Structure 1
Amino acid sequence: MVEAAATAEQQAHPLLRVEDLNIHLPSDGGLLKAVSGVSFQISKGKTLGIVGESGCGKSITGKTLLGIQPKHAVTSGSIHLDNVDIAKLKRNGKEIRAIRGSKIAMIFQEPMTAFSPLYTIGNQIMESILLHRTKNKQEAKLMAIDILRRVGISNPEKRFTQYPHEFSGGMMQRAMIAMALSCEPEVLIADEPTTALDVTIQAQVLELMKQLQQEFGMAIIFITHDLGIVAEMCDEVAVMYLGKVVEQAPVREIFHNPKHPYTRGLLRSIPMIGSRKERLDSIEGTVPIPINRPPMCGFYERCKVRIAGVCDKQEVPEVQLTEDHSVRCFLHGGQDEGGEQS
């Protein structure tokens, strides 16, 4: 009973709340709508998975939460953290710099390019600690060595003095996690943190993230295209396609009761133990470029159950199927009067 009450309170007062986020990028060909009307929220100690193919807007959404989206990007909507709307803060202002790395941190997609080759690993981890936690360099050094030890790097005192090129891929990934966690953030954004790792190291990194989440009580936004990782790591899932969240629900609901044709296509493409299929199912075609597109379902050209005259004639509204399951698909309602109903 107490646990249920605590969960209800967390849902009523989420740690991070994103509402109607739009990110548009002016280009020579027109206005590229990288993200359109994205909304989600996450509570303390929970993990939200954001999944979808490359080009769906996952990474730029994560970067915008930190205020590090491209300088020419035009953004609108709100990003509330501790009753502060981050979206309204100046990208290089004092307020957002106090939040960036301290309250919200990010594990970037490619750790090999996230570290400067000119400075030691320890020096780069210390920089964030000196900015947000202490001004004492000796104390900051001890904190940096401690977090390197906690993420599983052996002989952290020696590794502290080494340069990025002296680290293996798996060690670089752990160092990237150490840097992100050095200031004990409230929200951790993990952008494809295991993509370049072999299966054994990937499992170790995922287990490490679980342990550190329990230790720090932080919320995690896990950006990935791997639904196997989503099943293992996440509490809720937001499926993105062409800059929009097309389905959002608890992880068990997504796997056992998917509603959007795109979500079903992603699930059918996962290898299954014991399956006798010679080939995995695939979603034909590619994600279209979101420039000068008419009002229609973004998945229309690739959808096998599309409704001609409906899906290609208007924007798809969000339909709330249950309290915690929403979908953008005309197969589940949302048509204007006179539209066809499946």
Structure 2
Amino acid sequence: MTTQTQAAQAAQTDKDGQPLLSVQDLKIRIQMDNGVMHAVDGVDFAIKRGQTLGLVGESGCGKSLTSRAIIGINPKECETTGKVVYDDESDSNLDLLALDPKGKRIRSIRGRKIAMIFQEPMTAFSPMYTIGNQIMEAIRTHRTKNKKEAKKIALEMLGKVGISDQEKRFDQYPHEFSGGMRQRAMISMALSCNPELLIADEPTTALDVTIQAQVLELMQSLQREFGMAILLVTHDLGIIAEMCDEVAVMYLGKIVEQAPVKELFYNPKHPYTKGLMKSMPRLGGEKSVRLESIEGSVPMPIDMPPMCGFYDRCKDRIEGVCNAKAVPKTYISDQHTVRCFLYADRPEGELS
């Protein structure tokens, strides 16, 4: 076991009582021509050190806006409220949302302690600079000003993510890399400063199955080595099952169900979660059995009345209840919560 790994595990053990990151009542509003869009509406979750939390849901449910709000890189049109409490070494209750998004404090955390893998590496990398130059920029900003040392670290990280002939690749531009190699290069840049939290926004989008498996295995290997936490944003339940310790299911800007991964897969409660599970192809399943689909489409969250956002698509809806008021959070167990009136006879916080 490496010294780096031992240090990471020791830090995790020392701080097991407090989450590394806690998102509290996060709301993101966007003013549109025809009203106010409630893109993210009261999201809560926490991530422990060394844990992988999966944020899953359909496109447009608010996953990416939520993840980007953590490090303050959403567009200026996004009006963000709530708290993102980070357990920083100098302040265990540091609210990242209260910081100036262009200030020195958040810039010292962004990229250094909280890093991000973006959804499309071709647009995340600048086409004007070499891959090596861009990885070195992150290292020289957060770790060392020495060019030779920064280049050595960059070459080591390229090798660690499985890119061969690092010296040659270091001086190449993004368009000279394949999709899988660009994704690996982005992972190397994100991990070059040994972050405590890695936000991975659809890290395997547009990759073929073989490369996807390699990228996921690489992330797990580096997580074990560095002891970092991962927030994995995806719409792929197969990736969630393989990678995550806990899952938060988002729909229309809200987390409608959250549970440990095995609990969610074997005992889903929300009708939307159940629909997602039934739409998954399974190995060994009968060819004659058609996969189920969730009928309808996601409504636009513009000036919506207080009601269940899944009402129009739900087969189990209760007329006069689900469309009459906001849905409370119900505790199925101390680790399993759901927002659904089918379980709302128990007050919030009351365990089954």
Give the shorter-chain TM-score range. over 0.9
- Measured in 2, the distance between the counterparts of 1:286 and 1:219 equals 33
Root-mean-square deviation over aligned CA pairs: 1.5
What is residue 183 of structure 1 aligned with on the other side? 193
- Measured in 2, the distance between the counterparts of 1:226 and 1:89 equals 33
Do the aligned partners of 1:316 and 1:334 also contact (CA within 8 Å) in 2? no
What is residue 339 of structure 1 aligned with on the other side? none
Deviation at 1:278, TM superposition (A): 3.8
CA offsets 1:221-251 (integer angstroms, 9 cap, x no match): 0000100110000000000000000000000
Is 1:44 equivalent to 2:54 in the alignment? no
Match of 2:292 among 272, 281, 285: 281
What is residue 261 of structure 1 aligned with on the other side? 271
What is residue 124 of structure 2 aligned with on the other side? 114
Do the aligned partners of 2:269 and 2:338 also contact (CA within 8 Å) in 1? yes
Do the aligned partners of 1:318 and 1:334 also contact (CA within 8 Å) in 2? no
Which residue identity is paired with 2:64?
S
What is residue 66 of structure 1 aligned with on the other side? 71
Number of aligned residue pairs: give it: 331
What is residue 198 of structure 1 aligned with on the other side? 208
Say which SS state the counterpart of residue 40 (structure 1) adopts. Answer: strand
CA offsets 1:82-141 (integer angstroms, 9 cap, x no match): 221101001101111111100111100001111011000000001110000001011101
- Measured in 2, the distance between the counterparts of 1:94 and 1:25 equals 26
| Identity among equivalent pairs (%) | 65
Do the aligned partners of 2:118 and 2:124 also contact (CA within 8 Å) in 1? yes
CA offsets 1:269-313 (integer angstroms, 9 cap, x no match): 000122224421100111111001111000000000000000000
- Measured in 1, the distance between the counterparts of 2:201 and 2:296 equals 25
Q: 1:8 to 1:245 in 2, by over 3 A?
A: farther
- Output aligned runs, 1:95-244, within 5 Å: 95-244=105-254
- Measured in 1, the distance between the counterparts of 2:127 and 2:275 equals 41
Do the aligned partners of 2:12 and 2:49 also contact (CA within 8 Å) in 1? no
Do the aligned partners of 1:246 and 1:260 also contact (CA within 8 Å) in 2? yes
Do the aligned partners of 1:265 and 1:281 also contact (CA within 8 Å) in 2? yes
Match of 1:312 among 300, 323, 329: 323
Give the structure-1-normalised TM-score: 0.94
Match of 2:333 among 313, 317, 322: 322
Q: 1:76 to 1:334 in 2, by over 3 A?
A: farther
Do the aligned partners of 1:20 and 1:38 also contact (CA within 8 Å) in 2? yes
Structure 2: where are the runs of 5+ without partners?
1-10, 88-92, 348-352
Say which SS state the counterpart of residue 115 (structure 2) adopts. Answer: strand
Runs of 4+ with >6 A deviation: 6-9
- Measured in 2, the distance between the counterparts of 1:102 and 1:8 equals 21
Is 1:88 equivalent to 2:93 in the alignment? no
Structure 1: where are the runs of 5+ without partners?
1-5, 337-342
Deviation at 1:254, TM superposition (A): 0.3
Match of 2:62 among 29, 38, 57: 57
What is residue 22 of structure 1 aligned with on the other side? 27
Deviation at 1:334, TM superposition (A): 4.8
Q: 1:7 to 1:169 in 2, by over 3 A?
A: closer
Q: 1:7 to 1:327 in 2, by over 3 A?
A: farther
Q: 1:301 to 1:9 in 2, by over 3 A?
A: farther
Give the structure-2-normalised TM-score: 0.92
Say which SS state the counterpart of residue 80 (structure 2) adopts. Answer: strand
- Measured in 1, the distance between the counterparts of 2:177 and 2:345 equals 52
Q: 1:31 to 1:241 in 2, by over 3 A?
A: same
Which residue identity is paired with 1:284?
E
What is residue 340 of structure 1 aligned with on the other side? none
Say which SS state the counterpart of residue 79 (structure 1) adopts. Answer: strand
